[in-house]
Chain A
Amino acid sequence: MANAFVAAFEILSFGAIIVLIVLGLGIIASMMGIFNFAQGEFVLLGAYITYLAYAKGLPIWTGMVAAPFVVGALGFVLEALIIRRFYAAPIVAMLGTYALGLIIRESVRGLIGGFYLTVPEPIGGSIDIGAMHISAWRFTIIVITLLVMAGCYLLLSRTSFGLRVRATLENPALARASGISTPLIYGATFAFGAALAGLAGALIVPVFSLFADLGLRFLIQGFVAVMVGGVGSFIGPVAGAGVIGTLSAALPWVIAPVVADVLVFVLAIVFIKFRPQGLIAGKGV
């Protein structure tokens, strides 16, 4: 019983991390129809900023708060300068964002060297429930993920900004005709997606430690999750992330980890092949 609970907690916390990473990826993919290969590097940057704050002697949480804003601002600038040119061509967008990601990743690699740098958890220790101990920080990640998801949902479904975003998503031409500045919406969406990635990076760095290929590890899982969930809605990628995250964390408990790792991808690709629209089809929230 205790083991099952610990396993469930592990699965849940890993699922939460994947959801956090996929949220930004999914928003950008749904909105602009491009798969952002640099998203993994935005995660890396978030992690790096958190590490910087720690290395400079500041409290770790300042780095974690700063990370989404800095990465979001960078995303906004990159969108305006470069990404904007790629909207018409999804494949070129992949290559272009890949190049951007390469630049960011190798710059960070140059800055940190080939090391694995550890950042302590801002909330250490464990929570005891009866005889079971669960990591307090992982629990915090789950809570923050839930808050971010709720926040995103409310932002998109309840605010006038969300309304404009949805309008641009569903019919860009009509949105433009109605006086919505779609380039601005695109820029804001990209920045928002980047900020979410930055936040994800900041939160996971105490768990995974900082190394240059940190983002790459999650990128492909993220892409698969977005496609499984379905491009075009907010809830689709989240659902996909939940499924992929849970599967990746749960299968190794049942079968050999090597097989599990590959099996998740194979299952996902087969699923997408026969249901290209994903788990949740349709546009909107």
Chain B
Amino acid sequence: MGAAKQIVRVNVGGEADVPALERAPTERAIGRKVLPIVEGVVLVAALVAPLLLQDYLTVFATRVVILALFALSFDLVWGYAGIMSFGQALFFGSAGYGVALLARDLDITNIFLVLPAGTIIGLTFALLLGGFLLLGRHPSSVIFVSLGTLTGSYAADRLARGWYYLGGQNGIPSIAPMTVGSYEFSEGPAFYYLVLGILVVVYLLCRFLVRSQFGLALAGLRENEQRIAFFGYKAQHLKAIIFAIGGAVAGLAGSLYAFHEGFVWPNMVGVVVSTQVVLYVLFGGSGTLIGAVIGAVIVEGVSFWLSDNYRDIWPIILGLLLLLVILFRPLGLISFVLGERERVGSFGARPKKTEKQTEKHSLKEKRNAAP
């Protein structure tokens, strides 16, 4: 975050980017309402869910919330910066394996140690892989990055399967529960609210991040990388930073997942989970944080519901739905309720305006600010 801010401070030249929204207060008042409502509804639903659900469903809901956190990490990378990471599970799973090893070999289960450890593992792997794939003298092509991450994830899967220390095919079973002092987090409402709290905090941090000037630069990267480079941004550095942040969030999610499920297995670093998270975000709507959360909830929810009765055909339906979404709703399900303008949103601190300031004035200001 520190590095991110520094870049923004160096590169952003004044308040040149007053979004169109700011100039149309009436339209803004109409257009601005939907996103906070959607977010509020989801939050309230998440808060009351354990009160309404049976115990085994609360356990399932906890898993979904963790996966939503994971989806958030992919959305940051793909939805905001336009980096296709087909290997997001690498960070998710390696953090899971890392905390599982901590718990197995060193008996460390303290929540204040394992969660930061998982986050750092995710961050480190993302820095290494992202640094290698994204940085360098020649900018990497999108195809190379996506296939590189995919290959990384696949290779990690193969490694985990073959490495006896990591448990081979079976992974690491029966991980001890997370602890705070003498209290043990086992599956249930306590774990659920812990995870939900973490999700909300991370969500707010991400929201702040993507609505900052850094987020604006990222969105520019997604839309037209070359133009952002011409503006003097170091596009590759921005990408590596957001990739590392995404890896850290994925690592946090992975360590929670490992403790919640109580075991880790090779699929967790592999292609299956990597593509799963892509599905969540595409369904929900990439480029909006809440879309990622909703996507995870819907895909997992429907999958849970259908897999009882239609276990065999559910993956086929999922494939068909995915194809339909890609063809006809590239912005995901969230685009049914959210307008394009609100999806893009506004960035940075709100400029201080006097009441008399007119559209003309702000236009003039814009012209002056531009070099």
Contact = CB atoms under 8 A, between A and B. Distances in A.
Contacts of B148: 269, 272-273
Interface string A256-285: 011001100110110011001000000000
Contacts of B146: 91, 94
If over half of A's interface residues share one DSSP class (helix, strand or loop), that class is named, otherwise mixed; here it is helix
Contacts of A265: 151-152, 154-155
Contact of A273 (B133, B163, B316): B133
Given A110-B313, A220-B154, A224-B151, A258 B144 contact: no
A227 B319 CA distance: 27
B151 A220 contact: yes
Contacts of B316: 102-103, 106-107, 110
A98 interface: yes
B162 A261 contact: yes
Contacts of A258: 158-159, 161-163
B320 A273 contact: no
B113 interface: no
B169 to A, nearest CB: 12
A227 B154 CA distance: 16
A273 B326 contact: no
B140 A103 contact: no
Contacts of A96: 323, 326-327
A102 B140 contact: no
A99 B150 contact: no
A35 B147 CA distance: 9
Contacts of A273: 132-133, 136, 140, 144, 148
Interface string A77-110: 0000010010000111011101111110011011
A261 B156 CA distance: 10
Contact of B152 (A92, A106, A257, A269): A269
Interface string A11-40: 000000000000000000000000100000
A223 interface: yes
Nearest to B162: A258
Given A99-B322, A273-B148, 9 more contacts: A90-B142, A92-B326, A99-B323, A106-B315, A223-B147, A261-B155, A262-B158, A265-B151, A269-B148
- For the complex of A and B, the 5 pairs showing the least CB-CB separation, nearest first, are A258-B162, A102-B319, A103-B319, A106-B315, A99-B322
